[in-house]
């Protein structure tokens, strides 16, 4: 009996080690999913989900805040890299291993509150002078693929708001859940902008580089599934998005 218990214990430790190999875990600041306080502490819906998964799989690697372009390039090319929160699109599907979903977001065009511009379709948006987008993210890639040639790319959502208010953009793109923080960070108020056309809905997930061991990816997904089953995930989700339904 003692030997049998010892064998099980060794097997459990071996399994934990397989699932807790060193990872580079990258994210960006994008409330309410990733929030960084003035003292540098991280919080947010996705951050808390990742931290809980780490506890369950035995991973203690730090979450590093990096520019989105850097994180995206590394998760494309390097082994053992995780980047979140990433929109899971058709074009990106074969590029990464995926764990999720952790949320769903809708991207829309936003205008100045006083604007007389009317956007009823993507063709209408293509006729605008300049549209602010976040470089290399899902909305940039979606609109580029759709044939937009009037995109103004930046790596800071607040910059898009400032450009809009200074009439250097006709519109900018944002998620409904993130626009209020972008406007506030730019020094304006939510009522200074208005939503126009919603154009893209996508699930947010954790993206693992293709050269990450499948056992690691599977362990993280199983931990997220367990969180959803025991409602830990639901509590985290509704802490940050109390009025939004859980993603399917």
Q: Which residue has the tokens 């979606």?
A: 142
Q: Does 10 score more than 80 pLDDT?
A: no
Residues 98 and 29 in one domain: yes
Spatial distance between the Cα atoms of 210 and 230, rounded to a whole number of angstroms: 29
Residues 96 and 155 in one domain: no
38 within some domain: yes
Residues 146 and 211 in one domain: no
Domains held by the chain: number: 2
Residues 77 and 26 in one domain: yes
pLDDT tens-digit readout, 161-172: 999 999 999 999
Residues 99 and 211 in one domain: yes
Residues 51 and 137 in one domain: no
Q: Provide the 8-state DSSP code for 36.
A: E
Give the CATH number, domain containing residue 67: 3.40.190.10
154 within some domain: yes
pTM: 0.85
110 within some domain: yes
Q: Structural domain of residue 125, as residue ranges?
A: 106-201
Instruction: Give the pLDDT band of residue 248 (cuts 50, 70, 90).
Output: confident
72 within some domain: yes
Q: Does 19 score more than 60 pLDDT?
A: no
191 within some domain: yes
pLDDT at position 125: 98
pLDDT tens-digit readout, 141-162: 999 999 999 999 998 899 999 9
Residues 28 and 139 in one domain: no
Residues 85 and 146 in one domain: no
Residues 60 and 174 in one domain: no
246 within some domain: no
pLDDT tens-digit readout, 35-76: 999 898 999 999 999 999 999 999 999 999 999 999 999 999
Q: What is the Cα Rg of the chain in Å?
A: 20
Cβ(49)–Cβ(102) below 8 Å: yes
pLDDT at position 177: 87
pLDDT at position 9: 41
Q: Label each residue of 47-59 as H, E or C.
A: HHHHHHHHHHHCC
Tokens of 26: 């990258």
pLDDT at position 4: 42
Spatial distance between the Cα atoms of 47 and 124, rounded to a whole number of angstroms: 37
């Amino acid at each position: 009996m003692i030997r049998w218990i010892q064998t099980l214990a060794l097997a459990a430790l071996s399994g934990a080690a397989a699932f807790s190999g060193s990872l580079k875990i990258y994210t960006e600041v994008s409330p309410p999913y990733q929030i960084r306080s003035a003292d540098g502490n991280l919080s947010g819906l996705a951050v808390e989900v990742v931290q809980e998964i780490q506890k369950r799989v035995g991973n203690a690697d730090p979450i590093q805040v990096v520019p989105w372009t850097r994180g995206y390039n590394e998760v494309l090319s390097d082994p053992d890299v995780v980047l979140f929160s990433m929109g899971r699109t058709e074009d990106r599907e074969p590029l990464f291993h995926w764990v999720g979903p952790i949320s769903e977001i809708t991207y829309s065009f936003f205008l100045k509150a006083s604007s007389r511009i009317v956007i009823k379709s993507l063709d209408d948006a293509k006729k605008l002078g300049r549209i602010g987008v976040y470089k290399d993210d899902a909305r940039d890639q979606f609109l580029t693929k759709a044939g937009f040639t009037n995109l103004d790319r930046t790596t800071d959502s607040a910059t898009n708001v400032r450009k809009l208010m200074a009439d250097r953009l006709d519109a900018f793109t944002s998620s409904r859940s993130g626009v209020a923080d972008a406007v506030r960070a730019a020094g304006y108020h939510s009522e200074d902008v208005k939503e126009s056309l919603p154009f893209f809905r996508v699930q947010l997930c954790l993206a693992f580089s293709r050269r990450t061991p499948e056992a690691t990816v599977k362990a993280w997904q199983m931990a997220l599934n367990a969180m959803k089953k025991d409602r830990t995930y639901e509590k985290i989700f509704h802490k940050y998005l109390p009025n939004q339904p859980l993603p399917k």
